[in-house]
Amino acid sequence: MREYFHTVVWIATKDLRLLFRQPTSFLSTLMFCLLLVFIFGLTLNLVAVNTTQLLPAILWIILLLAAVLGMSHTFTHEKDNSCIQALCMAVTERSSIFLGKGLANLMFLLVIKVMIIPILFLFFDLQATINPLVLCLTLFFGGLGLACLGTLFNTLLINPGGLLIPILLFPIAIPLLISVIELTKVALGVSTQVHPWLLLMILFNLIFIVLAIVLYDYVLEV
C-alpha cells in the first residue's frame, strides 16, 4: 500500500515537474481563462445585467473549459517515444497512474483557480461577503471532480482526443457542475441551501474516483 501511494506521488511529481519545465500548457490555459473572464465581463456589461447572480455559473463555465483545454497535456508527452508503455511497465497497479496524473491535474487546476478567481471578482466588481470555507470546499471538490473526469477521459481518448473529449465529458460533468454552482451561490451569499449540494458533490467525486480506479486497467490498454 505504501509503495502504491509512493508511486502515485512519484507520477504526480514527475508530471508537475514537466509542467514547470515546459510552462507553455499552463500559461496558455491561464491566458485562455483570462480572455474568457474578459469576454464574459465585456459582453455581460453590454447587456447590463446583475452580474453577481451570474458569477457562479460564469466561474464554473470558465473552469470547465479550462479543465478540458488544460488537461489535454495529461498524456500528450507520454505518447512520444512510447513513454506510455514504459510508464505502464514501471508500475505494478495501473490505477496508480490515474491517481498520480489526477493529483497533478488537481494541483494544476487549483493553481489556475487561485490566479483566476481574484481577477474574476475584480472584473465583476463583487460586493457580496464571501463565505471562505464553503468557497474553498467547493473549489477543492469541484477541482477534484474535474481532475478525475479530465484524467479519465484523456486516458480513454489518448489517440483520437480532440472534440470527442468535451462531447463525452460534458454530459457526465453535469451533476458536478450543478452542485458546485449551487455551492458557489452559497459562498457568495446568493443562496443558503448547502447540504444536498454538498452531498451530491462529494458523492459524485466518490463514485467517479472509485469507478475510474476499478475501470482503469481497461481504460489504459497499450
Partner 1 sequence: MLLLIFLSLLVLTNLALIGFYAPVEQTMGIVQKIFYYHLSSAWLGMVAFVVVFGASICFLRTRNIKWTIIALASAELGTIFTTLVLITGRLWARSIWNTWWTWDPRLMTTLVMWFMYLAYILLHHSGMVEEQTSRIAAIYGIISFVNVPLVFFSIRWWRSLHPVLITTSSSGLSSEMLITLLVSLFTFLVLYVTLMRIRVRILTLQQQILSISHRRRRG
Residue type, 39: I
Q: What's the closest the beta carbon of residue 92 comes to partner 1, in angstroms?
A: 21
Q: Which of 16/168 has CB closer to partner 1?
A: 168
174 is a site residue for partner 1 (CB under 8 A): yes
What residues numbered 115-154 form the site for partner 1, per CB under 8 A? 152
Listing DSSP states for 85-148 in one string gives HHHHHH-S-THHHHHHHHHHHHHHHHHHHHHHHHHHHHHTT--SPP-HHHHHHHHHHHHHHHHH
62 close to 139: Cβ distance less than 8 angstroms: no
Q: Which of 49/211 has CB closer to partner 1?
A: 211
Q: What's the closest the beta carbon of residue 191 comes to partner 1, in angstroms?
A: 13
40 close to 58: Cβ distance less than 8 angstroms: yes
215 is a site residue for partner 1 (CB under 8 A): yes
Q: Which of 134/157 has CB closer to partner 1?
A: 157
Task: Locate the DSSP E strands across the chain.
Answer: none
211 is a site residue for partner 1 (CB under 8 A): yes
55 close to 126: Cβ distance less than 8 angstroms: yes
Provide the binding-site residues for partner 1, judged by CB under 8 A: 152, 156-157, 159-160, 164, 167-168, 170-172, 174-175, 196, 200, 207-208, 211, 215, 218-219, 221
